[in-house]
Structure 1
Amino acid sequence: MNFLDLFAGAGGLSEGFLRAGFQPIAHIERDAYACKTLETRSIYYYLKRNNALHFYRNYQSTYNSPAIEREQRRTELLEAVPVNQLEPIMNIEISENTLPLIFQRIDERLVHLPDNQIDVIIGGPPCQAYSLVGRARDENSMEDDPRNYLYKLYVRFLTRYQPKAFVFENVPGILTAFKGTLFKNLQAYMKRVGYNIEARQLNAKDFGILQNRKRIIIVGWRKDLEFRYPEIPVQDTDHIVNDLLIDLPPISSGIAHRGIGYRLPNSLLLKNMKIRDDDDIVTHHIARSHTQRDLDIYKVVVEKWNEEEMRIKYTDLPKKLITHQNLTSFLDRFKVIAGNEKYSHTIVAHISKDGHHYIHPDIKQNRSITVREAARIQSFPDNYFFEGPRTANFVQIGNAVPPLMAEKLAFWFKIQLDEL
């Protein structure tokens, strides 16, 4: 079975379908760094199938190396994979103007399939326009944002290719955008082109992920097919977030982990979550540099949480540390990851702006979390290599569907489609 990946991002949703055995028709994504990440992931899968992961490890190990060395290793990496073995990735924005070209390229791919059929379409348009925080920060509540209507372009793919089923993912704010009329219109569009649909709010923590992350997952299936919404048993955990981070080498503000080794041996939790293999190496473990004032604030925030499990509002900080003029909104701007609880708060793309909302729970390290730590909280495996600068890495991670959640949804799809 195959799938078409729209608004693909760094590939969190597609990673789940790949693990379930689906083959990609194409990944379509406008961000160049995310596309490069998708390409690197495609290379990983090819090399793994052909017992040649040493090429991949060599490339991973240059993460902290000078750019010229990294480019040389990437050239070697690309040379190890036949071009026709890479997953098709379209670095293009989905719009009315680009649809003809995108359809043409997909059609060219479908010609080579036995039934010229797409089995599943997956993806979710950028969520900033539906985000409650985004609407609160915009003077027009994002009503003028053209991204509000990207769902119509998603439906154009349903209309043209009539897949057996689809997954549409977005933030809970999509339910209330335009006082609920946008979501009603979205559902009407999908039903009009021939699909039964069901929308539910799912939480990543119910899928064995150590993160409290609520998302709206719309599942649709053609009206001529017997299908039903995924029913996946809730999976609780006996672990805490610290268990997810403890094996990574301790570093301080502004410090990069220069080696590739771990602090501790692999754990059952990391193995079960498919985060770490025994032959994995550490990458993307570089701490942001912070000002002394921020570091002082971090200490106050972490101490208060670790000792009393109390969240501090910005206005509760010592007066000498308060410098912002806004003292009425976003007062939780400094927030520690709750290492002693089962679930972290939600990782979002704003982590790319600063790390104040994602402070490491170990006060001795006194810093915000690294790209690798954010990736783990999202259930990305350590062998997932994010391309581009750190800011781009954080955006890719914050916008993604957790791969472990996606995998469980994908296996449900596989079971249902096998029965058709």
Structure 2
Amino acid sequence: MTQRHFTKLTPAVVNAKHKRILEGHAPRTLDLFAGCGGLSLGFDAAGFRTIGAVEFDTDAARSHAVNFMSDQPHELFEAHAVAKDITKIEPADLLKKLGIAGKVEQQVDVIVGGPPCQAFARVGRAKLREVADHPEAFLKDPRGNLYLRYLHYVNELKPLAILMENVPDVLNYGGHNVAEETCEILTAMGYRCRYTLLNSVFYGVPQMRERMFLIAVAAEIADEIDFPEPTHWIEMPKGYEGTRQVALQTVKQDLFEADPFFANPPVADKTKCKPAVTAEDALGDLPKITLHLEGKLKKGARRFDTVTPYVRDVDALNDYAKLMRSWPGFENDEGIKDHVIRWLPRDYAIFARMNPGDQYPEAHKHAVALFEERITALRKKTGKPLGPKSKEFQDLWDATVPPYDATKFPNKWRKMESFAPARTLMAHLGKDGYSHIHYDSAQARTVSVREAARLMSFPDGFVLTGSMNPAFKQIGNAVPALLAKAVATQIYKLLTDERTVPQRRAEEAHSV
């Protein structure tokens, strides 16, 4: 590394920012790869203040601005709301566009975000270190450019703390443990770092969603970095532990070669934690949707221009539902505009027959059985044999049975259990919702946009811009707000501790 391009945190920068926080000012957060704002939502709830974001997707960028920058003058609001390409905008230029004046390295206290996982292929230590020597190296390697840009922003803005979030596979991506390699770079920049795997279900989110979280804090401030203790408990389904072990294969945990940066995931204590929040806890108070079963739902884009009033009084709600309606700054006592679903007329009858936990192979069997009933009824009605080669037979088959091979797409469909948290929501929600079929057979549908948001612990007052499909995508890409808040709370404690590391060490030496 060359000192020409790589600069460490300086005591002057750290002390100035830390002093400001200790005086009672909220730590200022910049959200990179922000999406619609799951991390921003959690950090603001923990006492931080989001001052800006970088997001490439047009709808997600506007959603972020609507929810976090609505108090800005129109011109500045539009500057926040426009999509931004992190590969083309420099940190100093970004701050200027957002109306943030002053020395660049003094304006941001915390950087959060998760570069898209596609950027991690074959990055490796050499490439990570190259960004320190050559800030424009990201232009030469499109496979890793987004990740390197994140580090470039850290190098330029000198935050006191960093949070990186991503899929567990970054611990074993192309044979590399990207989190470990990132910690090496951040340590050289003057940070103390730890990373682990956290599952959102253990933090009050009604969804089993496993992610890697990396926390880095200026070494002058933090002696140790801990991750939040779980507040909820559930016995995880088979498969989740196996997935975790695959991700951890590159983590050095043996006696002679321990990874100094890896922290074992916190373990939930059944005797001390609350039961996990279930799908019914999360969705049960929302209005039922049955218009599609009455033939009153039409094909086409769904806009969020009609309020669906709540039907259950606040006093009758469980704690989770109350929180979703009363989240500070996002209160909602009227109703929801994005309680809309997809038009899937072929599949409603299949959804109704599926059992909790059924996946596509079971759904396909239900569809075939349904077809047999319908073809039998049609034969009786017409008096015709209607064999497999007849047009009527084929038309009815196509109108009843999904075309996917039941042996190749086992996870394409899944009916949620009312008594358990949902499985992981994916960005693929933007294309279809078969992975999350509502547990209520009487409604026979996939989840609505607002229900998906509830499963991600986004409060009902949080606004999603665009139409239905972009909104689903925004939710599927997001970080669950309650998990973000739990991690943010840990970082907030570190930043607001008045005893710096040197002070603590002096106290310890004096006490000996």
Hey, what's the Cα distance between the residues in 1 that align with 2:147 and 2:104? 29
Displacement of 1:344:
0.8
Q: How many residue pairs align between the two structures?
A: 362
2:55 aligns with 29
- CA distance 1:205–1:227, shift in 2 (3 Å): farther
- CA distance 1:227–1:372, shift in 2 (3 Å): farther
Contact residue 125 and residue 147 of structure 1 kept, 8 A: no
Hey, what's the Cα distance between the residues in 2 that align with 1:232 and 1:222? 19
> What is the one-letter code of the residue matched to 2:158?
Q
User: Which secondary structure does the structure 1 equivalent of 2:309 belong to?
Assistant: coil
After TM superposition, the structure 1 stretch with the greater mean CA deviation from structure 2, 176-185 or 282-291, is: 176-185
1:332 aligns with 411
> What is the one-letter code of the residue matched to 1:418?
T
Say yes or no: does 1:298 pair with 2:351.
yes
> What is the one-letter code of the residue matched to 1:8?
A
2:333 aligns with 279
Displacement of 1:151:
1.6
- CA distance 1:200–1:114, shift in 2 (3 Å): closer
1:221 aligns with 217
- CA distance 1:171–1:351, shift in 2 (3 Å): same
Contact residue 126 and residue 147 of structure 1 kept, 8 A: no
After superposition, the C-alpha distances for 1:79-104 in whole angstroms (9 at most, x for unaligned) are: xx634785962521111xx143x432
- CA distance 1:330–1:148, shift in 2 (3 Å): farther
Say yes or no: does 1:123 pair with 2:171.
no
After TM superposition, the structure 1 stretch with the greater mean CA deviation from structure 2, 198-207 or 236-245, is: 236-245
Displacement of 1:121:
0.5
After TM superposition, the structure 1 stretch with the greater mean CA deviation from structure 2, 226-235 or 363-372, is: 226-235
User: Which secondary structure does the structure 2 equivalent of 1:91 belong to?
Assistant: coil
2:95 aligns with 106
Hey, what's the Cα distance between the residues in 2 that align with 1:325 and 1:11? 35
- CA distance 1:317–1:364, shift in 2 (3 Å): closer
Contact residue 152 and residue 186 of structure 1 kept, 8 A: no
Contact residue 207 and residue 235 of structure 1 kept, 8 A: yes
Which ranges in structure 1 are unaligned for 5 or more consecutive residues? 47-80, 132-144
Displacement of 1:298:
1.6
2:378 aligns with none
User: Which secondary structure does the structure 2 equivalent of 1:212 belong to?
Assistant: coil
Hey, what's the Cα distance between the residues in 1 that align with 2:152 and 2:319? 41
2:453 aligns with 375
- CA distance 1:406–1:113, shift in 2 (3 Å): farther
Contact residue 168 and residue 217 of structure 1 kept, 8 A: yes
1:269 to 307, 319, 331: 319
Contact residue 281 and residue 318 of structure 2 kept, 8 A: no
Larger Rg computed on CA atoms: 2
Hey, what's the Cα distance between the residues in 2 that align with 1:200 and 1:282? 36
Which ranges in structure 2 are unaligned for 5 or more consecutive residues? 1-26, 122-140, 233-273, 372-399, 501-512
1:56 aligns with none
Contact residue 281 and residue 383 of structure 1 kept, 8 A: no
Contact residue 179 and residue 214 of structure 2 kept, 8 A: no
Say yes or no: does 1:288 pair with 2:277.
no
1:207 aligns with 203
After superposition, the C-alpha distances for 1:385-404 in whole angstroms (9 at most, x for unaligned) are: 10011111011111111112
Hey, what's the Cα distance between the residues in 2 that align with 1:206 and 1:32? 32
2:308 aligns with 260
Hey, what's the Cα distance between the residues in 1 that align with 2:105 and 2:434? 51
Hey, what's the Cα distance between the residues in 2 that align with 1:240 and 1:182? 33
> What is the one-letter code of the residue matched to 1:384?
F
User: Which secondary structure does the structure 1 equivalent of 2:335 belong to?
Assistant: coil
Hey, what's the Cα distance between the residues in 2 that align with 1:197 and 1:87? 36
Contact residue 359 and residue 412 of structure 2 kept, 8 A: no
Say yes or no: does 1:346 pair with 2:424.
yes
User: Which secondary structure does the structure 2 equivalent of 1:121 belong to?
Assistant: strand
2:394 aligns with none
User: Which secondary structure does the structure 2 equivalent of 1:173 belong to?
Assistant: helix
Hey, what's the Cα distance between the residues in 1 that align with 2:358 and 2:339? 28
Superposed counterparts of 1:34-113, under 5 Å = 34-42=60-68, 46=71, 82-83=73-74, 86=77, 89=80, 91-95=83-87, 98-100=88-90, 102-106=91-95, 111-112=101-102
Displacement of 1:23:
2.3
Hey, what's the Cα distance between the residues in 1 that align with 2:366 and 2:120? 32
Displacement of 1:324:
3.2
User: Which secondary structure does the structure 2 equivalent of 1:154 belong to?
Assistant: helix
After superposition, the C-alpha distances for 1:246-305 in whole angstroms (9 at most, x for unaligned) are: 22111133378954311211224235534444624212011211032x22332232xx22
1:231 to 216, 220, 227: 227
Hey, what's the Cα distance between the residues in 1 that align with 2:337 and 2:56? 25
Hey, what's the Cα distance between the residues in 1 that align with 2:201 and 2:75? 38
After TM superposition, the structure 1 stretch with the greater mean CA deviation from structure 2, 275-284 or 109-118, is: 109-118
2:194 to 195, 198, 203: 198
- CA distance 1:330–1:176, shift in 2 (3 Å): farther
After superposition, the C-alpha distances for 1:359-393 in whole angstroms (9 at most, x for unaligned) are: 11111111110000000010101011100111110
> What is the one-letter code of the residue matched to 2:68?
S
User: Which secondary structure does the structure 2 equivalent of 1:10 belong to?
Assistant: coil
- CA distance 1:22–1:85, shift in 2 (3 Å): farther
TM-score (norm 2): 0.64
> What is the one-letter code of the residue matched to 1:6?
L
2:28 aligns with 2
After TM superposition, the structure 1 stretch with the greater mean CA deviation from structure 2, 32-41 or 146-155, is: 146-155
Hey, what's the Cα distance between the residues in 2 that align with 1:22 and 1:113? 20
Hey, what's the Cα distance between the residues in 1 that align with 2:177 and 2:156? 25
2:481 aligns with 403
